[in-house]
Amino acid sequence: VGGGNTANMLAIWRVHGIDRLLREAWNAGVVLCGGSAGMICWYEAAITDSFGPDLAPIRDLLGFLPGSACPHYDSEERRRPRYHELIRDGLPDGVAAEDGVGLHYVDRELREAVSARPDGCAYRVERAGNDVRESPIAVRALAST
Q: Which of 50, 68, 72, 115 is catalytic?
A: 72
> Is residue 44 helix, strand or coil?
strand
N-terminal to C-terminal alpha carbon distance within the chain: 24
Active site residue 144: no
Looking at the DSSP assignment, which residues form a beta bridge with residue 134? 125
Active site residue 84: no
Do the Cβ atoms of 71 and 61 come closer than 8 Å? no
Residues taking part in catalysis: 36, 72
